[in-house]
Structure 1
Amino acid sequence: MEKEIYIEDKKSNIFKGAPIYIGVSIFLLILLFLSIGLAVTLGSVDISIKEVYSIIFYKLFNIGQTETLGNGAIHDVVWLIRLPRIILAIAVGVGLSVVGIVMQAIVKNPLADPYILGVSSGASLGATIAVMFGVGSILGSNAIGITGFIGAFIVSILVLVISNIGGRANSIKLLLAGTALSSVCSAFSSFIVYIVDDASKMKTITFWLMGSLAGAKWEEIIFILPIIIIGTIFFITQYRTLNLMLLGDEVSITLGTDLHKYRHVYLIITSLMIGVLVYASGMIGFVGLIIPHIVRMIFGTDHKKIIPIAAILGAIFLIWADVLSRIIIKGTEIPIGILTSIIGSPCFIWLMIKNTYGFGGKN
């Protein structure tokens, strides 16, 4: 039988034992379903709970009259606006949380987030080029998201290439390559904005970079959701290797595992996941940073436990962040990236001050 390898930090593992872990998992799943059920009834437009669920049951099970439930303004608000946003919020919350945990293991840094290796700057550069120069205009309304995805993915591949120059990539070289490329992309983005000097276009790119789920569409969700689900399941199966990454390359080699190829595979998969999320929602910060910290504080650092919990908790968090962004100011919508930063920043500072868990051994 293959030996289980993970790092146990006694002061961080608040909930010990399988029964408690299973109980918390079931509780969070129930909370997720309740969140979906309640969130779909909330919004700037007042619609009764009966009307909301009449439309949902009609669309899912064909229960009710087509004339009253199959079309009209209320139908469009519930089925074409609110529900897609909730499903997209789940996909983004799951994706960012899982990728955050994986990135932190890859670079062995608890401050890492899904965008640390230049992904955000690559997406920003791609989106800036699309808006300012009209590149990708043939793609229609999805031009900004698609070019943002392309930018994020290209930068991720360049990070891998550069970090392998002059020797095999390790966590330090990946961080340095990501930081360098992030600076280059940010500089080019600023330069493009400066030379074009168009206030209306600048407003467009700024709003996209703040993140939003307002553009959620069923056609996109059908494409995005399977990628996020498959990526999450894949990383759950990789928990032993992710646990080894926290121990470092030297220890892992002595245990018979070379982490070099795993880092490459994981970075490509995480880049694909982040790329499709950037395409659908723009840049949403702090979710992939704060959720892993909260989960590790409760369950320790064993990825077998924390990846599923982080996925569910991330989905719940983003559902309610999106609800708040829609209802906190009546008649308008706050970009969700602003809201997650407002919530996430003080929580993260509090966790750093509290310092109740370790990350891969003694800190």
Structure 2
Amino acid sequence: MRESGSSDSGVASSPAVPGAEDPPTGRAAPAMPLIVVPLAGVLAVSMLLAIGLGAAAVPPGETLRYLWAAVTGGSITAEEVTAYQIIWQVRTPRVLLAVLVGAGLSVVGVAIQAMVRNALADPFVLGVSSGASAGAVLVSASGALTALGIYAVSAGAFLGALLVSALVYLASRGTGGLSPLRLVLTGVAMAFGFQAVMSLIVYFVPDGESTSTVLFWSMGGFGAATWGALPVVAVVTVVTVVVLRRSGRSLDVLALGDETSVSLGVDTVRLRKGLFVLTSLATGAMVAVSGAIGFVGLVMPHLVRLWVGAAHVRVLTIAPLVGAIFMVWADLVARTLVAPRELPLGVITALVGVPVFVVLLRRRGYLFGGR
């Protein structure tokens, strides 16, 4: 048995784990193309419907025509300009951002649950969302980073996420590397600390804009989506999905415990550091454009494991598609349920995620660390 090469991110590949491909029930694992192709079709249809639906509904055929005109430089009539602008300038970037964030949060949730060996872990367990929220509120209240224009608040959120990630890393690091338990406990403590900082900012600057900023960054949403915000998030999400999927065998071994991982030739210290850096940067980038959207990174990994088994290569292939589909529909409900008002996206994901999580816990207790 030999150890395969490692990637530049510090996330190493590892030897195969016997039985890792088998689903939890012992039944035959479904063929990946039979899952990926239908899910990709469902995602494409969901995106088309979400782009067309809203306060001003546009039929799917017209939506496709407007999208084709935008991509190819085709022409539209003067009467269609308003509908075209709604489709291309407002809804399309919003739906694409929902796809990227849903996919990104899902795969990051898979990686973090393996990294800290905790079934309750999600992308925000390390306090990144609280740091991002505090940074966004600070920029909004103080008027800092004005040179960045409309991207000032997002930049503040990303800087806040990086700050809390650095603090968690420094506080969790020991002689034996990053301890999973210490990571979780430090992340929770930092989350409470930065929430207190955010509350202090709102207390001393009690204006409506700061309050609304706190609500947005605490509950999340895609109302501020623009074409300019998509490239960075797209690159981060794609890189994260590719690197984590290539590290699927390593995650299989890491989930078995550090002693077992070392005996199988996996450098757990280096692997966990690489995972920490990658997931922190990815989470910070997503929170910077969408706020903290809960339950996606917590529930989606468990749903996918229940469907395709616990092997991380399979989970990390299906989870982005499932997460993207869920996020597209959650965002559509958030902006149409009580139109013209828009519900915070975190409300929708929580209303769906909580009962699903409870049902999974009762039906498949072993997926959560034993009966």
Distance in 2, matches of 1:358 and 1:6, equals 18
Are residue 4 (structure 1) and residue 22 (structure 2) matched? Answer: no
Task: Calculate the aligned-residue CA RMSD, in Å.
Answer: 2.2
Q: CA deviation at 1:166?
A: 5.4
Indicate the SS of the match to 1:247. Answer: coil
Give, in angstroms, the shift of residue 10 of structure 1.
7.1
Offset of 1:135 from its aligned partner? 2.4
8 Å CA contact retained: 2:20, 2:252 = no
Match of 2:62 in 1: 51
Contact 2:22 2:311 in 1 (8 A): no
Give 1:292's match in structure 2, choosing from 301, 304, 314: 301
Quote the offset at 1:9 in angstroms: 9.7
Change in CA separation of 1:268 and 1:7 when aligned onto 2, cut-off 3 Å: farther
Taking the aligned partners of 2:228 and 2:201, their CA distance within structure 1 comes to 32
Identity of aligned residues (%): 34
Take 1:82 and 1:200, find their aligned partners in 2: how far apart are those partners?
A: 24
* 2:198 is equivalent to residue 189 of structure 1: yes
1:231 maps to 240
Alignment counterpart, residue 74 of structure 1, candidates 83, 90, 97? 83
Which whole-Å CA distance do the structure 1 matches of 2:339 and 2:367 have between them? Answer: 42
Alignment partner, residue 40 of structure 1: 51
Distance in 1 (alpha carbons) for counterparts of 2:183 and 2:365: 28
- Scaled by the length of structure 1, the TM-score of the pair is 0.92
Q: Does 2:26 align with 1:17?
A: no
Aligned-partner residue type, residue 347 of structure 1? V
Residue 279 of structure 2 corresponds to residue 270 of structure 1: yes
1:267 aligned partner, one-letter code:
F
Give a deviation string over 1:322-346, Cα, whole Å, max 9, x none. Answer: 1111211132211211111111111
Any residues of structure 2 matched to 1:33-182 within 5 Å, and which? 33-63=44-74, 65-68=75-78, 72-165=81-174, 167-182=176-191
In 1, are the aligned partners of 2:128 and 2:191 still within 8 Å (CA)?
yes
- Following superposition, the deviation at residue 200 of structure 1 comes to 3.9
**Which residue of structure 2 aligns with residue 309 of structure 1?**
318
Count of matched residue positions in the alignment of Structure 1 and Structure 2: 359
**1:171 & 1:257 partners in 2: Cα distance?**
16
Pairwise CA distance, 1:140: 2.0
What letter is aligned with 2:138? I
Query: Does the 8 A contact of 2:361 with 2:368 survive in 1?
Result: no
Q: Distance in 2 between matches of 1:66 and 1:38?
A: 21
The 8 Å contact of residues 103 and 114 in structure 1, kept in 2 or not, is answered as yes
* TM-score between the two structures when normalised by the length of structure 2: 0.90
Unpaired runs of 5+ residues, structure 2, are 3-14
Runs of 4+ in structure 1 over 6 Å off: none
- Residue 214 of structure 1 aligns to a residue whose secondary structure is coil
Is the CA contact 2:22–2:29 (under 8 Å) kept in the aligned structure 1?
Answer: no
2 CA distance for matches of 1:269 and 1:51? 40
* CA 207–18 in structure 1, closer or farther in 2 if over 3 Å, else same: closer
Structure 2 counterpart of 1:355 = 364
Counterpart CA distance in 2 for 1:252 and 1:100 is 20
CA contact (8 A) 1:32 1:316 kept: yes
